[in-house]
């Protein structure tokens, strides 16, 4: 990945002059702008409907000017332009690392996976998921959950009522996915930190139905190991007492089991992890200690939850016994 810092440039034309848009419920500190696009008249209606090529950008107000100067209204051009300083692995695709002056951002394009993604990789008809992710990310940051700050969400009309979408977040330097800390010298500290972060998320009333090892990242800082949650897709806010957070932990455990079966544990700088060594549950126990710190009743509840679903999850009921 290139380390050079590139200067921000102007992107757009007079035909794409953005104008305020107030039809969307926004998180605190955000505002919306509509970019008409080449095929749209200046007087196009201001509802949620987007004409093909027309774009709607929800921007963090405090970063509005540098975002506009960098061309946030045309994320596809931004990802192919001179501000891109490298690429970051992001599951199905790579995300662009954008350098704009002194700031670094990560530009993520939403892409479908599985069978659907083979014939429709980038169009979505249910745009509410993008607005919900934006609100959840903002709520998490306001509640003190360590996460990458969201700077912008951009939707583009793709025809037949569908949209394409991009998310721009602030870059977290020197982070690596949680699964790369299996067998790492900081293994226990990092999984303990991850447990604390997930607990903070649940205390904030956030239900993350797709919590897995890939959307928790960590870095080694002067104060010690630090973990972050970086992907809020499929997460939502729920009233206290209306849901069981144990399901998130079960989903996280399934990603551990999957990685163990595929032999995917161990980062580039760590020794390959022997799957048999995971039977000692050292990282799982460290995570549980961070999550259940001072909450023995919560540990008993999760044990019971796992016991009821042990056959479906393919695991034993006493998974958490070493977390004492």
- For residue 189, what are the domain limits? 176-323
Domain termination residue (choose one: 120, 145, 170): 170
Mean pLDDT of 270-295: 68
196 within some domain? yes
Which of 4-18, 237-251, 256-270 shows the lowest per-residue confidence on average (mean pLDDT)?
4-18
Q: Are 33 and 134 within one domain? A: yes
Per-residue pLDDT of 132-147, as tens digits, reads: 999 999 999 999 999 9
- Mean of the pLDDT values across residues 171-200? 93
Segment 108-132, tens digit of pLDDT? 999 876 666 567 778 898 888 899 9
Residue with the bigger pLDDT between 273 and 221: it is 221
SS3 string, the chain, reads CCCCCCCCCCCCCHHHCCEECCCCCCCCCEEEEEECCCCCCCCCCCCCCCCECCEEEEEEHHHHHHHHHHCCCCHHHHHCCCCEEEEEEECCEEEEEEEECCEEEEEEECCCCHHHHHHCCCCECCCHHHHHHHHHHHHHHHCCCCECCEEEEEEEEEECCEEEEEEEEECCCCCEEHHHHCCCCCHHHHHHHHHHHHHHHHHCCEEECCCCHHHEEEEEECCEEEEEECCCCCEEECCCCCCCCHHHHHHHHHHHHHHHHHCCCCCCCCCCCCHHHHHHCHHHHHHHHHHCCCCHHHHHHHHHHHHHCHHHHCCCCCHHHHHC
Higher pLDDT among residues 200 and 274, named by residue: 200
Confidence bin at 318 (pLDDT 50/70/90): very low
Domain total for the chain? 2
Which CATH number do you get for residue 273? 1.10.510.10
Asked if residue 1 belongs to a domain, the reply is: no
Verify that 162 and 21 share a domain, yes or no.
Answer: yes
| Residue after which a domain boundary falls, among 115, 144, 170 | 170
Are both 81 and 107 inside the same structural domain? yes
Out of 152, 170, 188, pick the residue that ends a domain.
Answer: 170
Claim to verify: residue 57 and residue 141 sit in the same structural domain: yes
pLDDT at 314 over 60: no
Q: For residue 150, is pLDDT > 70?
A: yes
**Shared-domain flag, residues 64 and 195:** no
Band of pLDDT at residue 285, cut at 50, 70 and 90: confident
7 found inside a domain: no
């Amino acid at each position: 990945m290139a380390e050079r810092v590139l200067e921000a440039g102007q992107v757009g034309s007079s035909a794409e002059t953005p104008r305020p848009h107030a039809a969307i419920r926004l998180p605190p500190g955000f505002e919306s702008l509509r970019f008409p696009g080449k095929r749209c008249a200046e007087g196009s209606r201001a509802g949620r409907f987007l004409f093909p090529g027309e774009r709607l950008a929800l921007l963090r107000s405090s970063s509005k000017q540098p975002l506009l100067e960098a061309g946030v209204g045309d994320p596809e051009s931004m990802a192919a332009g001179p501000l891109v300083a490298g690429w970051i692995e992001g599951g199905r695709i790579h995300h662009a690392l954008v350098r704009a002056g002194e700031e670094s951002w990560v530009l993520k394009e939403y892409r479908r996976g599985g069978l659907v993604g083979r014939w429709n990789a980038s169009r979505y008809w249910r745009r509410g998921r993008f607005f919900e992710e934006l609100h959840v990310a903002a709520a998490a940051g306001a509640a003190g959950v360590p996460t990458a700050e969201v700077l912008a969400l951009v939707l583009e009309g793709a025809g037949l009522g569908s949209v394409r979408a991009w998310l721009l977040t602030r870059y977290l330097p020197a982070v690596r996915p949680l699964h790369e800390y299996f067998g790492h010298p900081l293994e226990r500290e990092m999984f303990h930190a991850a447990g604390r972060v997930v607990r903070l998320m649940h205390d904030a009333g956030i239900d993350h139905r797709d919590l897995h090892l890939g959307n928790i990242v960590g870095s080694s800082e002067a104060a010690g190991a630090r973990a972050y949650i970086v992907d809020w897709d499929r997460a939502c806010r729920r009233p206290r007492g209306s849901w069981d957070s144990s399901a998130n932990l079960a989903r996280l455990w399934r990603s551990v089991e999957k990685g163990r079966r595929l032999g995917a544990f161990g980062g580039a700088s760590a020794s390959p992890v022997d799957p048999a060594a995971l039977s000692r549950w050292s990282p799982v126990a460290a995570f549980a200690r961070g999550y259940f710190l001072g909450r023995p009743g919560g540990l008993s509840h999760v044990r019971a939850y796992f016991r009821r679903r042990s056959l479906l999850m393919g695991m034993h009921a006493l998974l958490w016994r070493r977390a004492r």
